[in-house]
């Protein structure tokens, strides 16, 4: 909800800047610079960086999918076993799973908000730069924001991989696991 409000404000601010900047196009700067080939090479380099960051994001997503498959195949037998079933039936076991699920939902909401916010900011900034400094500068801005988005998505994937490999690494899980262990020391399997 907060990211929707931010997205709307960014778009509204972009429209305001674009409409007020119509008279003073380019702010005294020329669209065509003497270093036209220099800008073309810069955009080529930015495209290469964008492709590399996209491939890195794809690789991290593939690793995350593989880790998800592996952790699911490891956890399923644990939860189907008699001790696993006994643990799930206990109140702390249910609380642990509910708190891990809640942390995961907050994590996913933060990721969605980040993506939506970055997208809105990227679109507004690209349009403003294109209108003010020309298409090549707008293209460069688009490449930079796309690269930043790929880097952010890669970071989210790496964090998810870490959580999938070691669920106890999240702060909420550590506290819940310690409390579950303390309160159930008398239970034997």
Q: pLDDT tens string for the chain (189 positions)?
A: 556 676 677 667 666 666 665 444 444 444 444 455 677 888 899 999 999 999 999 999 999 888 878 776 666 676 677 877 776 676 666 677 778 778 888 888 988 888 898 898 999 999 999 999 999 999 999 999 999 999 999 999 998 888 888 766 555 445 544 554 454 444 444
Please give the pLDDT value at position 85.
Answer: 74
pLDDT, residue 41, reads 86
CB 178 within 8 A of CB 78: no
What pTM was computed for the model? Answer: 0.64
Q: What is the pLDDT of residue 70?
A: 77
Phi, psi (5° rounding) for residue 155?
-60, -40
DSSP 26: G
Instruction: Write down the pLDDT at residue 146.
Output: 94
Q: Please give the span between the terminal C-alpha atoms of the chain, in angstroms, as a whole number.
A: 46
pLDDT for the residue 160 = 87
Q: What pLDDT shows up at residue 125?
A: 93
CB-based contacts of 170: which residues, under 8 Å, 6+ apart? 100, 103, 163
Contact criterion met (CB below 8 Å) for 164 and 64: yes
Residue located via tokens 């380099």: 45
């Amino acid at each position: 909800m907060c990211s929707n409000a931010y997205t709307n404000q960014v778009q509204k601010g972009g429209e305001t800047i674009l409409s007020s900047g119509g008279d003073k196009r380019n702010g005294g700067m020329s669209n065509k610079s003497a270093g036209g080939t220099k800008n073309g090479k810069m955009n080529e380099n930015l495209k290469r960086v964008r492709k590399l960051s996209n491939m890195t994001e794809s690789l991290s997503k593939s690793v995350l999918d593989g880790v998800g498959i592996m952790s699911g195949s490891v956890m399923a037998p644990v939860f189907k076993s008699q001790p696993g079933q006994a643990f799930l039936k206990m109140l702390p076991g249910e609380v642990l799973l509910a708190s891990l699920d809640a942390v995961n939902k907050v994590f996913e909401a933060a990721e969605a908000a980040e993506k939506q916010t970055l997208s809105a900011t990227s679109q507004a900034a690209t349009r403003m730069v294109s209108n003010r400094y020309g298409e090549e500068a707008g293209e460069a801005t688009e490449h930079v924001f796309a690269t930043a988005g790929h880097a952010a998505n890669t970071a989210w994937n790496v964090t998810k991989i870490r959580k999938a490999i070691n669920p106890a690494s999240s702060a909420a899980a550590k506290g819940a696991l310690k409390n579950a262990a303390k309160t159930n020391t008398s239970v034997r399997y």
